[in-house]
Amino acid sequence: MEGRKFDEETKARGFFIALGMWLLLHEVADDIIRATIKKGRVVPEDKRDFLDELVVTVDDEKGKLREKLTEVVDAALKEHPYTLQSEIIQSLSARINELEEKIRKLETKSAKK
């Protein structure tokens, strides 16, 4: 019986280790991507190589999508008004706008470094 408990604890620990590794991998990848974007933005446009141009273009497109996020969420919620009350929709929309603004400020601040 004791051996069985150990096996279950070991499996659970392995699961959490795997999730931790997955999270760490994504954090490291995010750091690399941000550094690559930062480098691409400081290189003069006519001197950018393929990777610099790629990451800057993709980052610009991400910004455009982020701006549209509120519109998309609002449109989707308007199609299904019975799912959420109007007050909740307004609250979520306001919160999304706040988060988008914070993200923009952080990205601007990060890009200036």
Angstrom distance (rounded) from CA 37 to CA 58: 9
The pLDDT > 70 percentage for the chain reads 88
Q: How far is residue 87 from each of residues 22, 44, 71, measured CA to CA in Å? A: 37, 47, 17
CA distance between the termini of the chain: 57
Question: What confidence tier does 36 reach under pLDDT thresholds 50, 70, 90?
Answer: very high
Is 70 exceeded by the pLDDT of residue 1?
no
Residue 73 and residue 93 in contact, taking contact as beta carbons nearer than 8 Å? yes
Write the pLDDT tens digit of every residue in 66-103: 888 878 877 877 777 665 566 777 788 888 888 888 88
Q: How far is residue 25 from each of residues 6, 38, 43, 62, 64, measured CA to CA in Å? A: 28, 20, 27, 21, 26
The pLDDT > 90 percentage for the chain reads 37
Mean pLDDT of the chain: 84
